[in-house]
C-alpha cells in the first residue's frame, strides 16, 4: 500500500514580494509534516512535496487561501516510502532556469494541448516533436518520434534552438516536459523567436501518464522524476529505475549486476571517470547510510560541500564533452 501522497505544482504569477512568502510557507510545510522542495521567485512558485494525505491536503488548502495561489493546480501520485529527506522553501531568480531575461509565459506562451488530444497532434506529419528535458531524463523514456536535443541542462535549450532552425522547419512545433513548466517557458521563448504554431502538453508527461490508457499511449519507457522514486510508469506507478549517486544518471537492475557498480559510489557509466578520492568519500558516506538504516534511522547529514563539488565536477565534464562534440562537428 502506498502511504505518501506526492504533489507536483507550479504557477507563473507575478510575486513582487516573494521573499516574504518563504517563512509562512515553510512553517505550513513543517506544521503538516510535509517534505520536499518549493522554489519561489518573482515569476511564481514551483516544486514537489510529499507527506501524508492529510498533510498534503492541509498544505494545498493553505496555499489556495493565499490570493497569489488561489487557482494553483497540482498533480498527484503516490509513493510507498517518503521520497524526500527534508523540506526547503528556496528563493530563486527563476522558478525554472532557462537564463533568458524577459521570457515571460504570462505574456506569451504556446498553445496548451490536453492529454487526450496529444496523440492526434504528434501524429500529424506537419509537426516536429521536441523533448525539452535533459539527456539523462530522455535516456529512460520519451514519446515516439520525439527529437532529443541532448541537453544536459535547461539553460542549454535556447542555444540548441539557435543551432537547429533547420530541424524545426516544419509548420508546427510540439514540445513536452515532465510537468509542463519547462514547456511553458520554452514555448514562450520559441514564440519570441518567431515560431508561430507552437504547442505544448498541458500538465506534462505526468498528466498524460495519469489520464491516457496504456494501450492507447504513444509514450515509450518510463518518466524520470526528481525524487527518490527516480521514475514512474503509466498510472504514475513507481518505476523500475534506481539512481547512481556518483553521476546521478538512472540505472537498471542490470547496471547493478556490473562489476563496475558500487552502491552509493559509481556505476558502469561513471566508473572510469570517477577519481579514487571521490570513490572513497562516497563509499564512507554509503557506509554511514547503511549503519543508520540498521539502527532504524534516516541518514540526512549529507555533506553539502561535497554535493556542490560533485555538481561542479559534472558541469565541467559536460562542458568538456560539448567542446569535443562541437570541434568534431566543425571538422566534418
Q: What is the DSSP letter of 252?
A: -
Q: What is the CATH number of the domain that holds 55?
A: 3.30.70.100
Question: What pLDDT sits at residue 277?
Answer: 93
* Whether residue 116 is found in the same domain as residue 215: yes
pLDDT at 318: 53
- At residue 292, the pLDDT reads 81
Give the end of a domain, one of 30, 59, 91.
91
| Residue 43 maps to a domain | yes
Q: Does 181 fall in a domain?
A: yes
CATH code for the domain in which residue 202 is found: 3.40.250.10
Q: Is 241 part of a structural domain of the chain?
A: no
Note whether residue 233 is domain-resident.
no
Cα 313 off chain centre by: 20
Cell numbers given for 287: 557506509
User: pLDDT of 232-282, one tens digit each?
Assistant: 999 999 999 999 989 999 999 999 999 999 999 999 999 999 999 999 999
Are residues 182 and 268 part of one domain?
Answer: no
Question: So what's the pLDDT on residue 146?
Answer: 98
**Residue from 263, 313, 318 nearest 288 by CA:** 263
**Which residues span the domain enclosing 144?**
111-223
Give the global pTM: 0.84
Residues 273 and 191 in one domain: no
Residue 309 pLDDT: 43
Q: Is residue 102 part of a domain?
A: no
Does residue 17 lie in a domain region?
yes
Q: Which residues in 52-149 belong to E strands, given as ranges?
A: 74-79, 87-91, 111-113, 127-131, 141-143
Together in a domain, 130 and 175: yes
244 in a structural domain: no
Q: State whether 120 and 204 are in the same domain.
A: yes
24 and 124 both lie in a single domain: no
Cell readout for 31 is: 506544521
Half-sphere exposure of 97 (CA within 13 A, CB side): 10
Q: Are residues 28 and 56 in the same domain?
A: yes
Burial, 56: exposed, middle or buried (Cβ in 10 Å; 0-12, 13-18, 19+)? buried
Catalytic residue numbers read: 177
Provide the pLDDT for residue 306: 43
Domain boundary among 159, 188, 223: 223
**The pLDDT of residue 299:** 53
- For the chain, which ranges sit under pLDDT 50? 301-312, 320, 324-325, 329, 331-332
Indicate the number of domains in the chain. 3
Q: Which residue has the cell 521520497?
A: 83
In a shared domain, residues 130 and 210: yes
**Is residue 21 situated within a structural domain?**
yes
Question: For 221-233, what is each residue's pLDDT tens digit?
Answer: 999 999 989 999 9
Q: Are residues 115 and 84 in the same domain?
A: no
Task: Report the candidate in 174, 9, 12 with the shortest Cα–Cα distance to residue 77.
Answer: 9
pLDDT at 33: 98
Q: Are residues 125 and 209 in the same domain?
A: yes
Question: Do 53 and 154 reside in the same domain of the chain?
Answer: no
Hey, how many other C-beta atoms are within 10 angstroms of the C-beta on 204? 25
Residues 121 and 203 occupy one common structural domain: yes
Query: What is the C-alpha separation between 169 and 223, in angstroms, rounded?
Result: 28
Amino acid at each position: 500500500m502506498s502511504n505518501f501522497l506526492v504533489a507536483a505544482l507550479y504557477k507563473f504569477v507575478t510575486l513582487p514580494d516573494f521573499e516574504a512568502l518563504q517563512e509562512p510557507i515553510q512553517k505550513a510545510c513543517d506544521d503538516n509534516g510535509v517534505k520536499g522542495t518549493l522554489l519561489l521567485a518573482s515569476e511564481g512558485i514551483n516544486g514537489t512535496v510529499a507527506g501524508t494525505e492529510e498533510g498534503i491536503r492541509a498544505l494545498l488548502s493553505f496555499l489556495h487561501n493565499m490570493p497569489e495561489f488561489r487557482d494553483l493546480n497540482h498533480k498527484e501520485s503516490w509513493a510507498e516510502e517518503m521520497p524526500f529527506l527534508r523540506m526547503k522553501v528556496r528563493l530563486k531568480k527563476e522558478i525554472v532556469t532557462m537564463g533568458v531575461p524577459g521570457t515571460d509565459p504570462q505574456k506569451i506562451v504556446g498553445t496548451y494541448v490536453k492529454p487526450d488530444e496529444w496523440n492526434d497532434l504528434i501524429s500529424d506529419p506537419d509537426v516536429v516533436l521536441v523533448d525539452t528535458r535533459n539527456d539523462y531524463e530522455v535516456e529512460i523514456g520519451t514519446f515516439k518520434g520525439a527529437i532529443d536535443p541532448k541537453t544536459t541542462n535547461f539553460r542549454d535549450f535556447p542555444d540548441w534552438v539557435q543551432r537547429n532552425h533547420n530541424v524545426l522547419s516544419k509548420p508546427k512545433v510540439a514540445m513536452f516536459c515532465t510537468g509542463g513548466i519547462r514547456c511553458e517557458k520554452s514555448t514562450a521563448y520559441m514564440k519570441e523567436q518567431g515560431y508561430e504554431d507552437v504547442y505544448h502538453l498541458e500538465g506534462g508527461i505526468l498528466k498524460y501518464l495519469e489520464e491516457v490508457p496504456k494501450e492507447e499511449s504513444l509514450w515509450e519507457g518510463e518518466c524520470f522524476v526528481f525524487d527518490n522514486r527516480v521514475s514512474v510508469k503509466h498510472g504514475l506507478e513507481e518505476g523500475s529505475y534506481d539512481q547512481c549517486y556518483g553521476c546521478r544518471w538512472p540505472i537498471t537492475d542490470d547496471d547493478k549486476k556490473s562489476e563496475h557498480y558500487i552502491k552509493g559510489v559509481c556505476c558502469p557509466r561513471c566508473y572510469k571517470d570517477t577519481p579514487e578520492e571521490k570513490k572513497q568519500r562516497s563509499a564512507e558516506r554509503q557506509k554511514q547510510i547503511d549503519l543508520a538504516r540498521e539502527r532504524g534511522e534516516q541518514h540526512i547529514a549529507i555533506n553539502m560541500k561535497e554535493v556542490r563539488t560533485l555538481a561542479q565536477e559534472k558541469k565541467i565534464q559536460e562542458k568538456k564533452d560539448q567542446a569535443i562534440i562541437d570541434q568534431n562537428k566543425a571538422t566534418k
